[in-house]
Amino acid sequence: MEIGRHGHRRVVMLVADFSRAAAVLSIPIAFAFGGLTLIQLYLVAFLVGVFDVFFGVAYQAVLISMIQRDQYVTASSWLRGSEAVTQTVGLTLGGVLVSALTAPVALVFNAASFLISGVQLARIHPTEPAPAKSTHGQGVGEGLRWVYRSLLMRALLTSSGLTNLAVFMSTGVLTLYAVRTLHLTPAAIGIALGTGAIGAFVGAVTCARVETRLGLGRLLAVSSLIYPAGLLFYPEARGPVLLAAGTLAAGEFIAAVTAVWADITLGTILAIEVADDIRSRVNGAFRTINQGVRPIGAIAGGLLAAWIGLRSALLCSALIGLLGGSLILRKQILSMRGTPPSSRAPTTDD
């Protein structure tokens, strides 16, 4: 079954939900029978990651099929707002469950969340066109070829890929930097980095209003530059604990707000500019690149920190992110609005 194909999208999401539930549930079951191994943990992490991609690609397609394109920013904002809240609550609840019931038991609740998601998803029936034979090739490879033929999409993918690389270069060494260089306590680190969840919520609830004022393309450009600029706060953190933690918190908040803006506006542009019969493959290509660079970024960040130091590595990662953001500064992108003409027919010669 092709991910995101018309008529199959909800099925893909259901399979992804129930498969993730089964994979996670296998851990406490194996633990209960004394058979849990490190190999199983790696395998479960891999499977959950794969089905996360499947779910995400199909989810975007289903969302677009349920709303008008000029409502995408508003709908995505509400969804991202709820996601920010549930992530914050989930992290807190996860910590409480691990402390009170042990990690394997807590994973039972994690598996149950996927089951609940699947059950709720089974109750909705979005209107989708009947499956049609595509004139395009299959899978992510065709999506990447389509992106390569479009100057606009190449710029967007390169920009988002570099930004993700930079963010995970930074993320990979940030906690170590906070402990060894800034000498922050675990509580101070948790509070400072926890502002990211607040920032994500603020970004979600303000995105539609800001997009109305600035326009879709300008908001993407602004957020793509300010997002990595927020990372510059990290290497500049110094001084007393309160000041250092506050600097980290400010950078985390700014980066989180603008990351949500960038994510929503990029998704909207893909919804507007990419034809229905290729959009799922293009979304898959974007997800493959953006998630594929994350472990590369984490490893590169660690190696760079070992070579030039933690603070310098964080500075380099921010500069790479700014380079990625600068690729958005194209007239074609800056002039984009959130309400596309009804006759819009995307092509690959942009």
Per-residue pLDDT of the chain (350 residues; tens, 9 = 90+): 444 454 577 888 899 999 999 999 999 999 999 888 999 999 998 899 888 878 877 877 777 777 776 677 777 777 777 777 776 667 667 767 777 888 888 899 999 999 998 998 888 776 655 544 444 445 667 778 888 888 888 999 999 999 999 999 998 899 899 999 999 888 888 888 888 888 988 998 898 899 889 998 999 999 999 999 999 999 999 989 999 999 999 999 999 999 999 988 988 888 888 877 787 788 778 888 888 898 899 999 999 999 999 999 999 999 999 999 999 988 888 888 765 444 343 444 44
Task: Give the distance from CA 51 to its chain's centroid.
Answer: 14
Phi, psi of 33 (to 5 degrees): -100, 10
Residues present in the chain in total: 350
Query: In the prediction, which pLDDT does 92 show?
Result: 62
CB contact at 8 A, 283 and 270: yes
Distance, in Å, from the CA atom of 22 to the CA atom of 44, rounded to the nearest integer, reads 9
Query: In the prediction, which pLDDT does 88 show?
Result: 64
Distance, in Å, from the CA atom of 18 to the CA atom of 279, rounded to the nearest integer, reads 25
User: If 0-12 CB within 10 Å is exposed, 13-18 middle and 19+ buried, where does residue 342 land?
Assistant: exposed
Of 173, 174, 169, nearest to 247 (Cα)?
174
Distance, in Å, from the CA atom of 41 to the CA atom of 26, rounded to the nearest integer, reads 9
Of 180, 202, 178, nearest to 189 (Cα)?
178
Of 347, 3, 290, 282, nearest to 147 (Cα)?
282
Locate tokens 């530059």: which residue?
225
Distance, in Å, from the CA atom of 45 to the CA atom of 40, rounded to the nearest integer, reads 9
Distance, in Å, from the CA atom of 293 to the CA atom of 168, rounded to the nearest integer, reads 8
- At 325, the amino acid letter reads G
DSSP tag of 131 = P
Task: Give the number of C-alpha atoms closer than 13 A to the C-alpha of residue 309, restricted to the C-beta side.
Answer: 5
Query: In the prediction, which pLDDT does 347 show?
Result: 43
Task: Give the distance from CA 341 to its chain's centroid.
Answer: 28
Distance, in Å, from the CA atom of 153 to the CA atom of 63, rounded to the nearest integer, reads 21
Query: In the prediction, which pLDDT does 156 show?
Result: 92
Task: Give the distance from CA 348 to its chain's centroid.
Answer: 25
